[in-house]
C-alpha cells in the first residue's frame, strides 16, 4: 500500500517528551487581505528565539496563499548576481497552497490544494516568476469565483477532519490535490499526487490542461502480465486475500471514488535508456496484509515499453523507491490496520489515515529486490518475494540514488543513499504536528527531545549478492560520521543517477535554534560519500529552507548550482537562493538571492524539478 508521506513528514508519539509550545497569544486586531485574516501579532514578531516566535514561524510556513500570478513577473536580485554560466531553464516547485476555507475548516498540509510555482531563467540571466493552482476536480468543486476565490472544503482528504461542513457519512476522502511532485517529460509537465492520476499543466503558462490518463496507456490484459505474476504460490491464504480484494474493489471505487491503481508521486528517470519509471499500488492494499505493485516504463513519447507486476506478501507503505540496471528496489515500511482507528475515521471525527498504524513487530527494514525483466530474474536466481532484512528497524523516507556494480563473487553489490527515521518517531495522527481540534500546527511534535537515531538521517544501505543471488552482506550506516544532524530530501547531480556518485546534497537542521532544533530545516549539507566528510551552508535569523535541487553545468560531478527556496516567515518573504555547489561550506557559497514580491509569498513547497531549455 502506498499513501502520501511527504518530505520529512514524520512525528513522534504523543507520550514522548515535547518542547512546550504555547498557544498563540490573543490577537488585538487583524489585517484582512482578500478575506483572509492575518494576525498583526505574527507580522510584528520580534527577531528573537522565543516559544511564541517558534510557534508563529512554524504556522506561517503553512499560511494559505489565495492569489495567483498568471502573468510572469521579473524577480529582483537582492544579493549577488546570477552567474553567467547558469543555464536557461525552469525550476518548478510543487506543494500545497491553501489550508483554510471560509467556513471554519482547516486541512492538513498534505491535503492542501496543489499550488505550482515556476522560476524561469532566461538568457541574459533574468528570472521570471509565476504561480497558479492546479485545477483539479476537487479544486473546482471547493472554490468559487476568479482570483482569490471563496472556498468551502467538501472533501475530507486522507489526513484531515472538517470543522465545517459534513462530517459523518462524508465519503469524499480521496481528494486529488496534485500537490506532491512535478515532472517535465516528453514535452509535458505533470503534477503528481500519492493516490490518483497526474494533472497536466502548460509548461509556460501553468494553465491546467486536465487529468493525464497515464495508466490508461497500459494494457492490463493477461498477454502483458509479467512472469512474476505466473510464479505466484497457490497458497490458501493468498486465495482468501484474492477474494477479499475482489469484494473490496467495488466498494472503494464506487463509494469512496478510489482508483483501482494509485500512482505513487515519486518517479525515476533512467537516463541511460531514456525511460520514465513509475509505480502504482492497488487500492485494496490499504486494508489487506499484502501489497501489489505495478511498475511502468515509458519512452520519451509516453509509449509504454515495459510493465511488471509484483504481489508482495507484506503490508507495506511506500513513499519513495529506487531502481538499478536490473532491479526495482522497494524499502518497505511495515504497517497494519488499526480497527479502533478505522471506526473513528468512519465517524468523521478522526482523519481516514487513523485507520492505519505503524507495525514495529520486526526489528529490521525489508528491502525487496524486484527484477526489472524476466532475463534479470533468471540471471539473479533469487526469490524476489523474500526480502533482504536490513539490520536495524528504519522507516524509509526519500532515496537520493541507487546503483549496482559487479563484485568478486560473480554477483552484484547494490548501494543506496537515502534518508530514514525510526518507527518510534513516526506517527500517522500527528504528521507536521497537525491538530484537527485546534486548527493549528504544533511544532512541538516535530521538535521533541529524542534519541539521535530516531530523527530523519542520511544513510547508505549496502547489499552484496553472490552469483546465486544469495545475500552475503547487508549493512546500514550513516553517510557521514561528521554530520549527525537531522536531514532529508537527498539530491544529486542528475547526470550521476543510477551510477556511482560521490556527492549528496540535502536539507538539514543546524541545531542552533532553541525551540525549533530539528524542523523546519535551515541548512543545506553536502556530503562527500568517498570519505564521509560534510560541509554545509545555513541561513541566518528566522529563515528556513525547502528541498535542494541540483542544476548541472557540465564537467565534474559538483560543477553546477543548488537552487532552493528560503522562507523568511517572520517578514512574510520568500527568496529563491542559488548556491555554488563547489563552494558549499565556504564563504562565497551564496551566489544569488532573488525576492518574491511580498503579496505573492507562498507556503512551504514539497518537491521540485529542474528542466533545461
Rg (CA), the chain: 23
What DSSP letter does each residue of 304-371 carry, written as one string? Answer: EEEEEEEEESS-EE-S--EE-SSEEEEE-EEEEE-HHHHHHHHHTSS-GGGGEEE-TTSSEEEEEEEE
Is 398 marked within a binding site?
yes
Cβ 325 vs Cβ 301: under 8 Å: no
List strands edge to edge, sheet with 503-508: 487-491, 503-508, 523-528, 533-538
Cβ 370 vs Cβ 388: under 8 Å: no
Element (H, E) at 54: helix 51-60
The set of residues, in sequence order, having a beta carbon less than 8 Å from that of 348 and lying 6+ positions away, is: 156, 161, 162, 166, 167, 168, 169, 170
Is 607 marked within a binding site?
yes
Instruction: Indicate the pairing of strand 434-435 with strand 440-441.
Output: antiparallel
Cell digits of residue 576: 529563491
Beta-carbon neighbour count of residue 482 at 10 Å?
A: 14
List strands edge to edge, sheet with 89-93: 69-74, 127-133, 115-121, 89-93, 608-612
- Only one residue has cell 513519447, namely 301
Residue 505 sits at the vertex; the CA angle it makes with 480 and 462, to the nearest 5 degrees, is: 50
Beta-carbon neighbour count of residue 214 at 10 Å?
A: 21
Give the whole-angstrom CA distance, residue 593 versus residue 76.
Answer: 9
Give the whole-angstrom CA distance, residue 446 versus residue 426.
Answer: 10
Contacts 24+ apart (CB under 8 A), 560-567: 560/493, 561/83, 561/86, 561/591, 562/491, 562/505, 562/524, 563/91, 563/119, 563/608, 563/610, 564/507, 564/524, 565/93, 565/605, 566/539, 566/593, 567/61, 567/520, 567/543, 567/604
Instruction: Indicate the pairing of strand 291-298 with strand 268-270.
Output: unpaired
Is 13 marked within a binding site?
no
- Report the SS3 class of residue 106: strand
Which residues are annotated as part of the binding site? 319, 398, 607
Which residues are annotated as part of the binding site for Fe cation? 319, 398, 607
Amino acid at each position: 500500500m502506498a499513501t502520501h508521506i511527504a518530505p520529512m513528514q514524520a512525528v513522534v508519539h504523543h507520550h514522548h517528551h515535547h518542547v512546550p509550545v504555547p498557544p498563540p497569544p490573543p490577537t488585538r486586531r487583524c489585517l484582512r487581505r482578500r478575506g483572509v485574516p492575518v494576525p498583526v501579532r505574527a507580522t510584528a514578531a520580534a527577531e528573537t528565539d522565543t516559544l511564541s516566535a517558534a510557534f508563529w514561524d512554524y504556522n506561517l510556513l503553512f499560511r494559505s496563499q489565495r492569489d495567483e500570478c498568471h502573468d510572469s513577473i521579473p524577480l529582483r536580485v537582492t544579493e549577488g548576481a546570477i552567474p553567467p554560466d547558469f543555464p536557461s531553464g525552469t525550476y518548478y516547485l510543487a506543494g500545497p497552497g491553501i489550508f483554510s476555507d471560509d467556513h471554519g475548516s482547516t486541512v492538513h498540509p498534505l491535503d492542501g490544494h496543489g499550488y505550482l510555482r515556476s522560476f524561469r531563467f532566461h538568457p541574459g540571466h533574468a528570472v521570471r516568476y509565476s504561480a497558479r493552482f492546479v485545477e483539479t476536480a476537487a479544486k473546482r468543486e471547493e472554490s468559487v469565483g476568479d482570483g482569490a476565490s471563496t472556498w468551502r472544503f467538501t472533501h475530507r482528504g486522507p489526513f484531515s477532519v472538517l470543522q465545517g461542513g459534513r462530517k459523518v457519512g462524508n465519503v469524499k476522502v480521496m481528494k486529488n490535490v496534485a500537490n506532491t511532485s512535478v515532472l517535465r517529460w516528453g514535452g509535458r509537465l505533470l503534477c503528481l499526487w500519492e493516490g490518483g492520476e497526474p494533472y497536466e499543466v502548460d509548461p509556460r503558462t501553468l494553465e491546467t490542461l486536465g487529468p493525464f490518463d497515464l495508466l490508461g496507456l497500459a494494457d492490463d490484459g493477461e498477454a502483458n502480465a509479467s512472469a512474476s505474476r505466473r510464479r505466484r504460490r497457490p497458497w490458501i491464504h493468498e486465495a482468501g486475500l484474492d477474494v477479499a480484494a475482489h469484494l473490496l474493489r467495488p466498494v472503494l471505487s464506487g463509494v469512496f471514488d478510489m482508483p483501482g491503481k494509485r500512482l505513487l508521486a515519486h518517479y525515476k528517470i533512467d537516463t541511460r535508456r531514456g525511460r520514465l519509471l513509475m509505480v502504482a499500488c492497488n487500492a485494496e492494499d490499504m486494508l489487506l496484509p499484502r501489497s501489489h505493485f505495478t511498475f511502468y516504463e515509458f519512452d520519451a513519447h509516453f509509449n509504454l515499453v515495459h510493465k511488471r507486476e509484483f504481489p508482495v506478501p507484506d503490508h507495506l507503505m511506500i513513499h519513495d523507491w529506487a531502481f538499478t540496471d536490473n532491479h526495482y528496489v522497494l524499502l518497505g515500511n511495515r504497517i497494519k490496520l488499526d480497527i479502533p482507528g478505522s471506526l473513528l475515521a468512519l465517524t468523521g471525527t478522526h482523519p481516514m489515515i487513523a485507520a492505519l498504524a505503524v507495525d514495529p513487530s520486526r526489528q529490521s527494514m525489508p528491502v525487496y529486490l524486484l527484477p526489472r525483466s524476466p532475463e534479470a530474474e533468471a540471471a539473479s536466481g533469487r526469490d524476489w518475494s523474500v526480502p533482504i532484512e536490513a539490520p536495524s528497524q528504519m522507516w524509509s523516507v526519500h532515496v537520493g540514488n541507487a546503483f549496482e556494480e559487479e563484485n568478486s563473487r560473480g554477483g552484484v553489490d547494490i548501494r543506496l543513499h537515502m534518508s530514514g527515521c525510526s518507527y518510534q518517531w513516526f506517527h500517522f495522527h500527528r504528521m507536521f504536528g497537525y491538530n484537527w481540534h485546534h486548527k493549528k500546527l504544533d511544532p512541538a511534535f516535530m521538535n521533541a527531545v529524542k534519541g539521535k537515531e530516531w530523527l530523519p538521517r542520511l544513510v547508505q544501505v549496502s547489499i552484496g549478492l553472490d552469483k546465486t543471488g544469495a545475500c552475503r552482506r547487508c549493512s546500514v550506516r550513516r553517510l557521514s560520521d561528521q554530520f549527525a544532524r537531522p536531514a532529508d530530501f537527498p539530491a544529486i547531480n542528475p547526470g550521476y543517477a543510477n551510477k556511482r556518485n560521490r556527492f549528496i546534497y540535502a536539507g538539514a537542521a543546524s541545531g542552533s535554534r532553541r525551540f525549533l532544533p530539528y524542523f523546519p530545516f535551515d541548512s543545506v549539507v553536502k556530503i562527500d560519500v568517498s570519505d564521509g566528510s560534510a560541509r554545509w551552508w545555513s541561513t541566518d535569523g528566522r529563515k528556513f529552507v525547502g528541498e535542494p535541487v541540483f542544476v548541472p553545468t557540465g564537467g565534474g560531478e559538483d560543477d553546477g548550482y543548488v537552487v532552493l527556496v528560503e522562507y523568511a516567515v517572520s517578514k512574510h518573504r520568500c527568496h529563491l537562493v542559488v548556491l555554488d555547489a563547489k563552494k558549499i561550506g565556504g564563504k562565497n557559497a551564496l551566489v544569488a538571492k532573488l525576492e518574491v514580491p511580498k503579496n505573492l509569498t507562498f507556503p512551504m513547497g514539497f518537491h521540485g524539478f529542474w528542466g533545461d531549455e
